[in-house]
Amino acid sequence: MIIGIDLGTTNSLAACFTENGPVIIPNRQGKPLTPSAVSVDEEGNVFVGEAAKERQALYPDTVAVSFKRSMGTDREYRLGQRGYRPEELSSLVLRSLKEDAEAFLGEPVTEAVISVPAYFDDRRRKATKLAGELAGLKVERIVSEPTAAAVAYGLYERRENTRFLVFDLGGGTFDVSILELYDQILEVRAVAGDNYLGGDDFTETLMKLFCQKAGWKAEKLSRRDRARLFGAAERAKRRMNGAAEVEMSCILEGETGRPEKRQATISYREYEKACEPLLEKIRQPVKRSLSDVRLKLSDIDVAVLVGGATRLQIVRDFLIRLLHQFPDTAINPDEAVALGTAVSAAMKERRKEVREVILTDVCSFTLGTEVSVELGNGRKEGGHFCPIIERNTVIPASRTQRFYTANEGQERIRVRVLQGESRFADNNLFLGELEVGVPKGPAGKESVDVTYTYDVNSILEVEAHVISTDERKKLIIRGKENRMSEEEIAARMKELSFLKIQPGDREENRVVLLRAEKAYEELLGDERKMLEYRIEKFEEALKNGNRDTIREEREKLLEVLNTLW
């Protein structure tokens, strides 16, 4: 069985294709969204999802979140007695989704189509495939998030001859893509974005604004205080939708080490002004994507919102002003990408419902090589970047460019394969290199044709052809390559398999207790006493082990929590 997975910065979810179309697969708590959070407690127990997220405010040193932003890097997150790379943490989220899907479908899940931000470069895409492999999933197809969203809107909603602008603002990444659906072909025209912009940044902005008003210095807060303040800002951010102002309060220890409650009123206008730098960072990729395909905003038929951060009123107000139209919200923005990955999985399985559809994608970043350039007066300077396949070229694509020897008596030509947009080679991502020999001679006499061929499976083939000798050399850079050997992957899979993700019933009870603990620290007086009584009754039920009593006391505790906090 192949499923679709939206592996998000803040939340992740899975979907499958049925005879009634794509459907979201509920997790072990019966919810569509699984927080992309991993925690390891003092006993070595692993929590994924909501339980891990609830632990963050109380035990921040045991929780990792937003690790998608570090995919493809060497960053390590220390949890308990060991360190985890971003792709390993992502694999635990994927494994949890896989287990939930198997429970829902009643059959093994062996393969997945996983979505990534359109602006993920080659290294980050490879890290995502590795995460799937570590989770025990075969991942042959990676689909860009905006493409998946457009698939959901264009195919699931059965729209024809439509030009989409897909605006995807998640918790930690931002993409904008322009796609066109015509004659059963869904073609990606352009992509742009920012891998370090998302809803978390809007929460951070509100957090800093609150600190200014409340007299706290954000940079001097402990990790625990920052986690607690971030949660309070997240709740206030959601209340800001449709409100002229919000009252935000939080109990922190601060520099004194004693719990202290402070509060402040923040108006929508104040928040909007504080967010202006973030909104400007949104504007630029929108303009760039339109410019790349020489379109105007009036050429766009539908603006589609994807990602939980697009629920923010401040973002929607900005987009209405920017796009001069009301965005389409027919599909839940949290679910659009997952539904699209399920359709993509059905296309890979050649399901008859979608087999007639052709899906094209584009090269998100420019692919090129390093060259020397003439500066005049016989002077040359190396280290410059020469594009061969430019960004937003429809793939599969093949391009050839001829280069000449730069120096007198040169015997070899080195082709460095690079990805990026900087005019300087060292500022771009190095993918690999190959060398060919050439006969000695004057500078500029010998030439080599360099051909780049890039396909939909992220496989790049580079060929260097020496014209005078007809020598040819090839280099294949595969999307499935990564920085770990097969032996290392097998060993790490074995280690990770020993980490047991908590069963659904135990995790649900833990989530409620963690939430109650967090609320207890925020409340005072009679409200605190009322909550303490219900916590004790629930803990007593857990000790006795009667499922009906546990369920009954859990519901009573949740009722009090929802009323007080």
The C-alpha atoms of residue 531 and residue 543 are separated, in whole angstroms, by 19
Identify the bridge partners of residue 176 per DSSP, sorted by sequence position.
167, 192
For residue 237, count other CB atoms closer than 10 A to its CB.
24
* Predicted pLDDT at 498: 55
Kindly provide the b/e burial profile for residues 185-220, where b requires at least 16 CB atoms within 10 angstroms of the residue's own CB: ebbbbbbbbbbebbbbbbbebbbbbbbeebebeeee
* Predicted pLDDT at 481: 46
Map 98-132 to HEC letters.
HHHHHHHHCCCCCEEEEEECCCCCHHHHHHHHHHH
* Predicted pLDDT at 256: 67
The C-alpha atoms of residue 15 and residue 335 are separated, in whole angstroms, by 9
Burial (CB < 10 A; 0-12, 13-18, 19+), residue 380, is middle
Predicted model pTM: 0.75
3-state secondary structure of 27: coil
Residue 333: asked if its preceding bond is cis (omega within 30°), the reply is no
DSSP assignment, residue 426? G
For residue 485, count other CB atoms closer than 10 A to its CB.
9
Per-10-residue mean pLDDT of the chain, 565 residues long, equals 94 94 92 94 85 86 92 89 92 95 95 90 88 92 86 69 88 88 81 88 95 86 87 92 90 75 93 95 91 90 90 92 87 92 89 71 88 81 93 88 92 93 90 93 92 82 94 79 60 62 63 83 79 88 83 88 80
* Predicted pLDDT at 539: 87
The C-alpha atoms of residue 157 and residue 479 are separated, in whole angstroms, by 31
> Which pair of tokens denotes residue 519?
């609320």
Dihedral sign computed on CA atoms, order 124, 142, 105, 136: negative
> Is the distance from CB of 428 to CB of 422 less than 8 angstroms?
yes
> Closest Cα to residue 63, out of 199, 207, 228?
228
3-state secondary structure of 158: coil
* Predicted pLDDT at 480: 44
> Is the distance from CB of 265 to CB of 206 less than 8 angstroms?
no
Q: Which secondary-structure segment (H or E) carries 481?
A: none
* Predicted pLDDT at 506: 67
